[in-house]
Structure 1
Amino acid sequence: MNILDKIIADKYREVALRKGLIPVKQLEQSVLFERKSPSLAAALKASNTGIIAEHKRRSPSKATINNSLNVQDVAMGYEQAGVCGMSVLTDGKYFGGSLDDLVIARAASAFPLLRKEFIVDEYQILEAKAYGADVILLIAAVLSQSEIKSLSEFAKSLDLDVLLEVHNLEELQKSIMPSLDMLGVNNRNLKTFDVSLDISKTLSTEIPDDFVKVSESGISSIEAIQELKPYGYKGFLIGENFMKTDNPGRSAEAFIKELK
């Protein structure tokens, strides 16, 4: 069993437990449930830098990245830096995140927030909406075509943007459907954790222009972004590069200034 299989097995158990603790009706009564969500896809289209900055304390591949930062400060710093949106890891066991991180980031900022999570159930999408997210992530590697369709359509019914993540051509081909806003290519092999920008380059021609193209993982330099832009990428997810510093917001600001 690889790390992704372990995470998903744990996620099904976690979701079952959460459903027993907080009923759907309670999520739907959240004060954030009725708010109009800003679109990350629209922000990326309008941007000439396309940075999505991440809040991530740790990961299975890198262990601890940064445990000492306040989510509120990170969100405010990123927004001030001019990033298009912020990705918030909410998985606890493997990434050290929580839904509290999402709600704190929401209270501190107005830009689009992505709930970065291993989504396997509509309940998690209701949670995303109730805790202030504007975008959800779906991972093609762990979902069937019908699951991608039903989950993405459910997210759209709640006024949420959908970013669908793929790792190879097979995942991409089963995933292309109108209920997605953005197609993200993860440059990291989730089974080996090896990283290569060639994955984004190879898959770029297979992604229809109707979708905003996002490149994820392994983007730590201006050169990497400049290398990928000619392939039609409008979004670039950067986490570790900013999070491993003492001030992610300031790091993002310096990065964007240099990129411009």
Structure 2
Amino acid sequence: MATVLDEIIVGVRADLAERRRTVSLDAIRTLAAEATDRAPARDAYAALGGGRLDPQGIRILSEVKRSSPSKGALADIASPADLARRYEAGGAAAISVLTEQHRFGGSLADLDAVRAAVDIPVLRKDFTVDEYMIHEARAHGADLVLLIVAALDEAQLAEYLAVTHALGMNALVEAHTVEEIERAVAVGARIVGVNVRNLKTLDVDPRNYATLAPHLPEDVVRIAESGVQGPEQVADYARDGADAVLVGEALVKHGDPTQAIRDFRAASLAVRG
């Protein structure tokens, strides 16, 4: 039986095939190289932690997210650029932009708008299933791409991470189990996210981060993903050693995302002393 992840990837591949009919792999590689010549990728590894604590609190990877498979429509984001600027003003370390269309309502146009609006690193958050998408992300100014261990075999994971690094970018390598963390570390991932949302069922259990965190090496940036409803969950993730927290729904639905980010960071300081 197909899982939610399987169904999402079917849509990603269909959209990708359409874009490739318009822009070839060679052409997108050229566009990526030209984008890098104009503006090299920002150092997302350093921005998200890079092995050092921030005296202002845990780093927040803030997400521009219109909808989700589990919740449907989340927010009517009239201007991704304005939202991104509000995130940056609140102290966001980086911004994640959903570009998957069918389940998340995102687009590369959203990515372009955010990239032009802020100076901090930007993650192109889509389900990377082909090298093409990595070059495409760089062509649109992304500094980070998402590599989901559960969606890739070992050869693909290693290859796509190498392509990402060759373009000067970083990858958020997402894991859900101890075995997936081990696979991420084995290929040289520098930024590892533990997603407490089960991508097969969409169930969320924030306690999973505390269970899996001890298996994350000291020298990777550790990101807790999903499950944040307010400062309490951010504080819990900070207590369990996360360097950064990915937050989407709680920010796009908040009336004042700038203040929300400040509150999240302040909550983390309280538990870290």
Question: Which bracket does the TM-score occupy, shorter chain normalised?
Answer: over 0.9
- Aligned partner of 2:205: which letter? S
| CA distances 1:220-257 after superposition (whole Å, capped 9, x unpaired) | 22222222223321010011001013443343244435
SS in 1 for 2:186: coil
What 5-or-longer segments of structure 2 have no aligned partner?
none
- Aligned partner of 1:91: which letter? E
Does the CA-based 8 Å contact 1:153-1:179 persist in structure 2? Answer: no
The answer to whether residue 196 in structure 2 is matched with residue 194 in structure 1 is no
Does the CA-based 8 Å contact 1:145-1:175 persist in structure 2? Answer: no
Partner of 1:157: 166
Partner of 1:19: 20
- Aligned partner of 1:36: which letter? P
Distance 2:260 2:114 in 1: 18
| CA distances 1:199-226 after superposition (whole Å, capped 9, x unpaired) | 1111111111121111000022222222
Does the CA-based 8 Å contact 1:53-1:78 persist in structure 2? Answer: yes
- Aligned partner of 1:207: which letter? L
| CA distances 1:27-75 after superposition (whole Å, capped 9, x unpaired) | 3236533212222221122533211100000011000100243101011
Distance 1:96 1:206 in 2: 34
The answer to whether residue 192 in structure 2 is matched with residue 183 in structure 1 is yes
Does the CA-based 8 Å contact 1:74-1:249 persist in structure 2? Answer: no
| CA distances 1:100-124 after superposition (whole Å, capped 9, x unpaired) | 1111101101100001100010100
Does the CA-based 8 Å contact 1:74-1:247 persist in structure 2? Answer: no
| Paired-residue identity, % | 34
The answer to whether residue 94 in structure 2 is matched with residue 93 in structure 1 is no
Partner of 1:58: 67
Distance 1:259 1:228 in 2: 8
Distance 1:237 1:160 in 2: 18
Taking the TM superposition and a 5 Å limit, the aligned residue runs for 1:116-127 are 116-127=125-136
Cα deviation, residue 25, structure 1: 4.1
Alignment size in residue pairs: 260
Partner of 2:114: 105
Partner of 1:37: 41
Q: Among residues 203, 208, 211, which one is paired with 2:220 in the alignment?
A: 211
Distance 2:256 2:247 in 1: 14
Does the CA-based 8 Å contact 2:196-2:206 persist in structure 1? Answer: yes
Q: Among residues 226, 232, 244, which one is paired with 2:253 in the alignment?
A: 244
Does the CA-based 8 Å contact 1:135-1:161 persist in structure 2? Answer: yes
Cα deviation, residue 197, structure 1: 1.8
Distance 2:6 2:175 in 1: 16
| CA distances 1:76-128 after superposition (whole Å, capped 9, x unpaired) | 11111111000000001110000111111011011000011000101000010
Cα deviation, residue 196, structure 1: 1.2
Cα deviation, residue 258, structure 1: 5.1
- Aligned partner of 1:44: which letter? L
- What TM-score does the superposition give when structure 2 sets the normalisation length? 0.89
Closer, same or farther in 2 for the Cα pair 1:257/1:232, shift >3 Å?
A: closer
Closer, same or farther in 2 for the Cα pair 1:257/1:233, shift >3 Å?
A: closer
- What TM-score does the superposition give when structure 1 sets the normalisation length? 0.94
Q: Among residues 124, 129, 133, which one is paired with 1:115 in the alignment?
A: 124
| CA distances 1:177-196 after superposition (whole Å, capped 9, x unpaired) | 35422110001111222211
Closer, same or farther in 2 for the Cα pair 1:203/1:129, shift >3 Å?
A: same
What is the aligned-residue RMSD (CA, Å)? 1.7
Does the CA-based 8 Å contact 1:77-1:250 persist in structure 2? Answer: no
